[in-house]
Amino acid sequence: MTPTQNRVIDFMVAAVMAVVFLPLFLVIAGLSVLFGKRPVFYSEKRVGLNGREFTLYKFRTLRPDIFQGAMRHDWTDRLYKHGVSRRCTGSFFRILRKYSLDELPQIWNILKGDMSTVGPRPMPAGELEFRFGSDAPRITSVRPGLTGLWQVSGRNDLDPEQRRSLDLYYVENRNLWLDCRIMLKTLPQVILGRGAY
């Protein structure tokens, strides 16, 4: 499958998702304002195709101070060890994270061409360098994805090396059939909420 064909498929899938999830998107945004009294969206620079940075969007679920200071640049998975209850404010926001609903705004990133439906996890530049080192160019040879191989293989229950290996495996072996398998496995993973913190 050529890059152009892949981009057309991504756009079509994202367009359908945008229509289907629009009511849920509006409900989440409204409840976020009602319960959170905070900016509804969170944005951060991530590294995309060929190393170009883009702005990734999510529903805000974490405490505003969680990424301040040294912790913002700590890529050693320490944040996950602190537990969701210390990072989120209220059960509503924990639910958003557990069922990956906080990632719905990334549909816009797919429509813009920043991301693909399936691909490696989009990472900040510092984390990409920390986790992949000299292999970083291999990861950025494809668009990062809304879902990916490690997300359907255990998510955050996997250790960093397992996640790294799965992302590299995907880049080296990606094809339409693998993408379809990952997409089909994504919905059960999201519904069950396994490995999401």
CA torsion through residues 92, 68, 115, 142, sign: negative
pLDDT mean over 62-80:
55
Q: Which domain holds residue 176?
A: 3-63+80-189
Pairing of strands 116-118, 41-47: unpaired
Residue 75 lies in a domain: no
Predicted confidence at residue 62, as pLDDT, reads 78
Does residue 124 have a pLDDT over 50? yes
Predicted confidence at residue 185, as pLDDT, reads 92
Mean pLDDT of the chain: 86
pLDDT mean over 35-63:
90
Cα–Cα dist 104/59, whole Å = 8
The number of folded domains in the chain is 1
Does residue 92 have a pLDDT over 90? no
Residue 196 lies in a domain: no
pLDDT mean over 55-62:
92
Closest-CA residue to 45 (of 53, 33, 37): 53
* 69: alpha, beta or left? (left if phi > 0; alpha if psi -120 to 50): left
Of 34-38, 86-90, 123-127, 133-137, the least confident: 86-90
What SS3 class is residue 180?
A: helix
Closest-CA residue to 146 (of 197, 183, 171, 184): 183
Q: How much of the chain, in percent, has pLDDT values that exceed 70?
A: 83
CA torsion through residues 71, 163, 102, 35, sign: negative
What SS3 class is residue 58?
A: strand
Phi, psi torsion values for 158, nearest 5 degrees = -80, 150
What is the separation of C-alpha 192 from the centre of its chain, rounded to a whole number of angstroms? Answer: 17
Residue 195 lies in a domain: no
Predicted confidence at residue 4, as pLDDT, reads 86
pLDDT mean over 23-43:
90
Cα–Cα dist 103/99, whole Å = 9
Predicted confidence band of residue 1 (pLDDT cuts 50, 70, 90): confident
Residue 70 lies in a domain: no
Residue 86 lies in a domain: yes
Residue 73 lies in a domain: no
pLDDT mean over 156-174:
91
CA torsion through residues 81, 83, 84, 85, sign: negative
pLDDT mean over 146-173:
90
Predicted confidence at residue 110, as pLDDT, reads 98
CA atoms within 13 A on the CB side of 160: 11
Residue 46 lies in a domain: yes
Does residue 71 have a pLDDT over 50? no
pLDDT mean over 113-134:
95
Tokens of 96: 């958003």
Residue 9 lies in a domain: yes
